[in-house]
């Protein structure tokens, strides 16, 4: 590292003028880009060709659209400079024409800069670097390109060939059938805007879950599990149709929101309240206004009995054990007797015995005709209690996709793995300690669905 810094310092000291400084930056940018292209699976000599190299840098950053815009705007800028050389000789005409060209040059340059910043953000993601690097790329791209190109520790997490994978570009176009009972999810896409660019978080996820089924939601870090659950429960709407027992979740959300129980990983209960007070407050919020006080109290007593909380009804929340606190957070959502229960890591912090007791209670709830969807990072200790599994995986464009949905035994056969944790490992990228087979299984599942 010190050798590289000394080299750069020497070069810049020898650049005695501003023109020399920018010439050095240009040379460093070109040779650095040559090495970066090679690392990303692109022929290095493309770094010598203006416009084309910006387009290819966009591909390397998984910002192909931005790369095309940057290439076009740079081409326009070059053309403007060329036209200036042949501007009219007449001073009056030349003045007006030069002003027009200068304004065009400024506008095009600003657009070029904006799209280059987007490319640099994507490049930082590919090389696993903090976004603060974007500043160096913006103001001294030659130094950034040289460092990333020649230092071995700067390596891309994916290549251009990987980004053009068949799975990442595949879209099934199929939909799950809508039934009168149960949960139907037809999610076309869930997007977000990042640096003025639409980013796909989830795409092409379709399934039907029967009433009475307890479903495990699997996926590696960043696969979109929580985003998917938020889309299903209507908290963060996607471009999707979510039907619960024949009713449209998005169109009838105000009427249906209490038909869904959502238990986040971290509870928001007040430690100074008693168990009974906590449930009474939940009943007041979640039960219809037509319920009398006596009816609310009766429902609270019933729920406490179901979750084994009656003996600790007068205890403060802050004095509860981890297992009791988890059961209380679930009981709060169960007050309204929802048809769909969604739980994000309900066993977090619990030992094996306590976790199993909790999941057995969830199994009993499912057996009453409810749908239970659960995220857990230790699924194998309770896998016998589940009916189905949803497996979400990141394709090469970092979009959450459906790699499998179906019964547990079918999942084992499909992935060739006995344990659920092994399935997650198979779809995780190699740099995450996995096998890097996500795209393979996304396509395989799509083929199974289409017969």
- Provide the CB-side half-sphere exposure for 135 (13 A, CA): 3
Look up the CATH number of domain 166-449.
3.40.50.300
Q: Taking a C-beta distance cutoff of 8 angstroms, is the pair 323, 354 a contact? A: yes
* DSSP secondary structure, 157-174, as one string: SS-HHHHT-HHHH-----
What pTM does this model have?
A: 0.69
Report the alpha-carbon distance of residue 312 to residue 50 in Å, rounded.
Answer: 72
Look up residue 90 and give its DSSP letter: S
Q: How confident is the prediction along the chain (451 residues), in pLDDT tens digits per residue? A: 444 444 444 444 444 445 566 677 788 889 989 999 898 888 889 889 888 889 989 888 888 888 888 889 888 888 877 777 766 655 555 566 677 777 888 888 888 889 899 899 989 888 888 888 889 888 888 888 999 999 888 888 777 766 555 555 566 667 778 888 899 999 998 888 765 567 788 989 999 999 999 999 998 878 889 999 999 988 888 889 999 998 888 888 877 877 888 887 777 778 788 989 999 888 888 888 888 888 888 999 998 988 888 898 888 888 888 788 888 888 888 888 889 999 888 887 778 788 888 899 899 999 999 999 999 888 999 999 999 999 999 887 788 999 999 999 999 999 999 999 999 999 987 767 788 888 889 888 887 776 5
The owner of tokens 């001294």 is: 140
Give domain limits for the chain.
2-157, 166-449
Report the alpha-carbon distance of residue 407 to residue 387 in Å, rounded.
Answer: 6
Exposure string over 21-45, b if 16+ CB within 10 A, otherwise e: eeebbeebbbbbbbbbbebbbbeee
């Amino acid at each position: 590292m010190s050798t590289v810094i000394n080299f750069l310092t020497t070069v810049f000291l020898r650049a005695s003028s501003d023109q020399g400084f920018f010439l050095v930056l240009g040379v460093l940018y070109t040779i650095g880009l040559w090495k970066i292209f090679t690392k990303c699976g692109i022929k290095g000599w493309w770094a010598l060709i203006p416009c084309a190299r910006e387009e290819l840098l966009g591909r390397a950053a998984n910002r192909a659209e931005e790369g095309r815009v940057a290439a076009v705007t740079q081409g326009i800028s070059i053309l403007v400079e060329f036209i200036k050389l042949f501007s009219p000789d007449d001073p009056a005409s030349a003045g007006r024409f030069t002003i027009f060209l200068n304004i065009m040059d400024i506008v095009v340059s600003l657009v070029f800069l904006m799209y280059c910043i987007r490319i640099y953000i994507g490049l930082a993601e590919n090389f696993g670097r903090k976004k603060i690097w974007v500043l160096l790329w913006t103001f001294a791209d030659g130094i950034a390109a040289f460092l990333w190109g020649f230092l071995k520790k700067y390596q891309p997490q994916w290549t251009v060939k990987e980004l053009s994978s068949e799975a990442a570009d595949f879209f099934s176009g199929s939909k799950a059938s809508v039934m009168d009972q149960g949960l139907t999810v037809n999610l076309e896409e869930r997007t977000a805007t990042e640096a003025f660019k639409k980013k796909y978080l989830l795409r092409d996820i379709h399934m039907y879950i029967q009433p009475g089924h307890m479903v495990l939601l699997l996926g590696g870090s960043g696969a979109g599990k929580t985003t998917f659950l938020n889309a299903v429960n209507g908290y963060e709407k996607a471009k999707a149709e979510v039907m619960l027992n024949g009713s449209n979740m998005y169109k009838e959300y105000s009427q249906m929101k209490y038909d869904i129980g959502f238990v986040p990983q971290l509870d928001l209960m007040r430690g100074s309240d008693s168990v009974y007070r906590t449930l009474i407050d939940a009943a007041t919020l979640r039960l219809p206004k037509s319920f009398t006080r006596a009816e609310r109290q009766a429902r609270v007593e019933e729920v406490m009995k179901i979750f084994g909380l009656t003996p600790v009804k007068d205890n403060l929340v802050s004095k509860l054990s981890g297992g009791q606190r988890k059961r209380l957070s679930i009981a709060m959502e169960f007050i309204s007797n929802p048809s769909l229960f969604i739980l994000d890591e309900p066993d977090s912090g619990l030992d094996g015995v306590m976790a199993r007791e909790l999941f057995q209670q969830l199994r009993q709830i499912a057996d009453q005709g409810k749908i239970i969807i659960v995220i857990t990072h230790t699924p194998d200790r309770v896998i016998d209690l589940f009916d189905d599994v949803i497996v979400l995986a990141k394709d090469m464009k970092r979009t959450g996709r459906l790699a499998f949905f179906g019964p547990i035994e079918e999942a084992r056969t499909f992935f060739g793995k006995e344990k659920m944790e092994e399935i997650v490992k198979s779809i995780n990228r190699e740099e995450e300690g996995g096998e890097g087979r996500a795209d393979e299984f996304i396509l395989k599942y799509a083929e199974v669905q289409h017969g």
